[in-house]
Amino acid sequence: MPCKKISKGARSLQCARLRSIEELTWFSMKSAGVRGAAPVDKLAAADALARFSVMCATLGATLGEIDVNPVVVSPSGVLAIDALVIPAAM
């Protein structure tokens, strides 16, 4: 899956920038495939995070809190197991 430029407002993240950020983090070490495990799909992880950022920016002031946990990144893609969305107080 190609890493697309995704943006919606100043607060959203861009997939290419996420790829450069991950190079400096623990994710780079964990995602490379350790202890015989296959490497995870880094592009899918960056794309999912960028799209999540766009969603949060789009929801803006209507979004009070959001919790996505756990998020599983595997060689075949990304899966958010559970999420809790709390709207902002009106």
| pLDDT tens digits, 15-43 | 556 556 555 565 666 666 667 778 888 88
Please tell me which residue, 62 or 26, carries the higher pLDDT value.
62
Whole-number Å distance between alpha carbons of 1 and 67 = 26
Please tell me what DSSP assigns to residue 45: H
d(CA 41, CA 38): 9
Q: Which of 10, 80, 6, 82 is nearest to 47 (CA)?
A: 6
Number of domains composing the chain = 1
1 found inside a domain: no
Confidence at residue 3, expressed as pLDDT on a 0 to 100 scale = 45
The residues, ordered by sequence, that sit 6+ positions from 43 with a Cβ below 8 Å of its Cβ are 1, 2, 3, 15, 19
Question: Which structural domain, as residue segments, surrounds residue 28?
Answer: 15-87
